Copies of this chain bind each other. A is one copy, B any other.
Amino acid sequence: MNFLWWIPIVGGIGFLIAFILYFYVKSRPAGTEKMVEISNMIHKGAMTFLKREYSVLIFFIIAVFLLLLFGLDAYRWQTAVAFLGGAICSIFAGFLGMTAATTANVRTSWAAKIGGQALALRTAFFGGSVMGLAVASLGLIGLGIFFIFFGNTASARVLSGFAMGASSIALFARLGGGIYTKSADVGADLVGKVEAGIPEDDPRNPGVIADNVGDNVGDIAGMGADIFESYIGALVATITIAATATSSSSLNIVGNVGAYMAFPLVVAAIGLVASVLGIASMKIFERISPTAALNSATYVGSILLFVGVFFATRILDISINVFWVMLIGNLIGIAIGLLAEYYTAGKPIRDIAESSKFGAATNLITGLAVGLESVAAPVLVIAVGIWLAHTLAGLYGIGIAAVGMLATVGVTMSVDAYGPIADNAGGITEMAGLGENIRKITDKLDALGNTTAAIGKGFAIGSAALTALSLFSAFAQSAGLSTIDIKNPLVVIGLLVGGFVPYLIASMAMKAVGRAADKMIEEIRTQFREIKGLLKSKANPDVETCVDIVTSSALKEMILPGLVAILTPIIVGFLLKAEALGGMLAGATVSGVMLALFMSNSGGAWDNAKKYIEAGNFGGKGSEAHKAAVVGDTVGDPFKDTAGPSMNILIKLMSVVSLVLAPLLVHLAK
């Protein structure tokens, strides 16, 4: 038992390092008074959103807590407490990451001024690292402690409560944050840039603070909760598969169930150590080039992980195949990332840009076609991955491949979170009037991490699909289903119902953005009309009202889709029983994975096609092609930043809810 305590202890150390990095960033100078003022407004807006979001979610958390406490068949209070633990860890990770990001953004901007690119890079990256390390550490601490108490075959079901907590908070955070960021963005851009003709991030625009807050609540807090959810989901799924495995095709799990159950957490702990060393290595490589610094951090993390895991398999007497599967999982993640990179930055975006010459309609048709096409190759890669993982290490292999992709989340997420911080720094540079040169540095920083981030995205997509399948397998085993037979019409009904849920949620998310943006547009127009001298910079805009409007809208709009996601598996499970629920999960996974790729990639491609034109192609900025590309980009925004990212969480959340319900469904069927 003693050795397991090392898991939360490693987590605790990681957490401490996250704090040290936070205080390092916080100790950096924040720049001019104006900058501090702007940064405080962004910080306040973001924190207000989080606080109000959590005060809405507290009711949801209490309700689910009570439902689990009184509704389950066994392990009632344990599962309910685990749910609470998962939810609190997720909230805490989001809160910490947001604090760090809103501290780092203004300091990155000032660092660019006083120290140039290298210092700005370090500030932004360490800011992102706080989030990355917090996510990994909180996961290890929380799940590790529950595992110590409930890490045997019978009680492991308690852990699914923890995952359910993490997943449900993540879905709300992604939806709320995604609706916030896009409606603020659309509103500020449409009235500011298009109607009033003032530049982006112009301080006269009443929506500009809300827009910058949106980047934080969407890209930082939303993404943090998302990745935390993935991390926990993959771990819990793999642990559950090990716990419920009676025999596995090529692994002799039966003999040492305990080792196989603990192994995912061991991998995660090694990954956290590797991440810390990767982040530290960045200080060495930053002397070569900024790109080298970002990439090397990721590579160092990965290599150390593999070395560590290799020895761990030898020490814990785990099949060497498990090690190979992790390597394969990483290769697959890279392949998916490169494919996403191709579709959102390669030839297809030049095709979209070219078709923009004929107007918005052809831009959109081409972009939709690119998005639809972009589904095939990554799904094929995932399919090959499933086959390899399963051949080498059974169902356990599919789960551990996902764990392998997510183990170095401490460093990969640092790279992910670094982008929005640099982006935000750019906004502050503009608003505070630091000048063109500083803005160029922050813009360049923003672009730097793109390829690394694309690989990270591949890991997120790949791991989501594999985790969803693992959770599905874990559910099937927990529900004692010997088969889930598509020949059974109830399973077919499940497949169809599961198939449409992602469409419904995507639709709700997109409509929500539309409604929230409308309110924003109205408010900004009113302010431009009624605040005398605003456009001449003689009066200040009322940014708080804009922030308040979009906060209220986003929080209101996130509730219904979130509830649909959680209630659907419950309704299907009780109405049509466990096997049909299995069909539903499969249908949701198929639809969800495809829609996620379609939406994310077409959105990304439209975005970059616009940038490609802005770089001077096909007439450049202001041309008819550019106008058409702006339409495409605007349509792509809710695709790639609201609806798309919700899909991955959605399918895992539905699986996790089913996993929690599984023993109860078995109990009721008796």
Contacts and interface: CB of A to CB of B under 8 A. Distances in A.
Interface string A576-596: 000000110011001101100
B492 A586 contact: yes
Contact of A487 (B484, B487, B498): B484
A379 B370 CA distance: 26
Contact of A503 (B372, B473, B586): B372
Nearest to A499: B590
Contacts of A492: 386, 469, 586
Interface stretch (A220-228, A354-362, A407-415): A354-362
A634 B363 CA distance: 11
Given A484-B487, A485-B484, A496-B379, A503 B594 contact: yes
A513 B358 contact: no
Nearest to A643: B372
Taken together, the copies of this chain in the complex come to 2
A362 B638 CA distance: 11
Interface stretch (A289-297, A450-458, A504-512, A617-625): A504-512
A382 interface: yes
A106 B360 CA distance: 36
A528 interface: no
A365 B514 contact: yes
B360 A631 contact: yes
Interface string A380-409: 101100110010000100100000000000
Contact of A383 (B476, B497, B513, B598): B497
Contacts of A500: 375-376, 379-380, 594
B483 A487 contact: yes
A591 B591 contact: yes
Contacts of A507: 369-373
Nearest to A379: B500
A360 B364 CA distance: 10
A118 interface: no
A631 B518 CA distance: 20
A353 interface: no
Interface string A620-647: 0000000000110011001100000000
A257 interface: no
Contacts of A370: 507
A434 interface: no
A112 interface: no
A472 B369 CA distance: 28
Interface in A552-608: 582-583, 586-587, 590-591, 593-594, 598
A221 to B, nearest CB: 24
Given A379-B499, A485-B483, A503-B373, A361 B591 contact: no
Nearest to A372: B507
A493 interface: yes
Nearest to A359: B631
Contacts of A521: 358
A138 interface: no
A190 interface: yes
A35 to B, nearest CB: 33
A369 B179 CA distance: 14
A486 interface: yes
Contacts of A4: none
A510 B631 contact: no
Interface string A531-542: 000000000000
A386 B491 CA distance: 11
A376 B499 CA distance: 9
A366 interface: yes
B495 A365 contact: no
Contact of A495 (B190, B395, B503, B586): B586
Given A507-B373, A514-B369, A383 B496 contact: yes
A145 interface: no
B635 A369 contact: no
Contacts of A469: 492
Contact of A489 (B386, B489, B586): B386
A465 to B, nearest CB: 8
A370 to B, nearest CB: 8
A350 to B, nearest CB: 14
A346 to B, nearest CB: 16
Contacts of A366: 511, 514
B598 A369 contact: no
A546 interface: no
Contact of A484 (B364, B390, B486): B486
A659 to B, nearest CB: 15
Contacts of A487: 473, 476, 481, 483-484, 582
A493 to B, nearest CB: 4
Given A487-B481, A500-B594, A190 B358 contact: yes
A417 interface: no
A635 B368 contact: yes
Given A361-B634, A499-B590, A376 B504 contact: yes
A316 to B, nearest CB: 25
Contacts of A486: 472, 484-486, 491, 582-583, 586
Given A484-B487, A594-B591, A375 B504 contact: yes
Contacts of A380: 497, 500
24 contacts: A190-B359, A358-B521, A361-B631, A362-B514, A368-B635, A372-B503, A372-B510, A373-B508, A375-B503, A376-B501, A376-B503, A376-B504, A379-B499, A380-B500, A383-B493, A472-B486, A483-B485, A483-B487, A485-B485, A486-B486, A496-B593, A499-B594, A587-B590, A591-B591
Interface of A: 190, 355, 358-362, 364-366, 368-373, 375-376, 379-380, 382-383, 386-387, 390, 395, 398, 469, 472-473, 476, 481, 483-487, 489-493, 495-501, 503-504, 506-508, 510-511, 513-514, 517-518, 521, 582-583, 586-587, 590-591, 593-594, 598, 630-631, 634-635, 638-639
In the complex, the 7 A-B pairs of residues with the closest C-beta atoms, listed nearest first: A372-B507, A361-B634, A373-B507, A369-B510, A499-B590, A390-B489, A375-B503
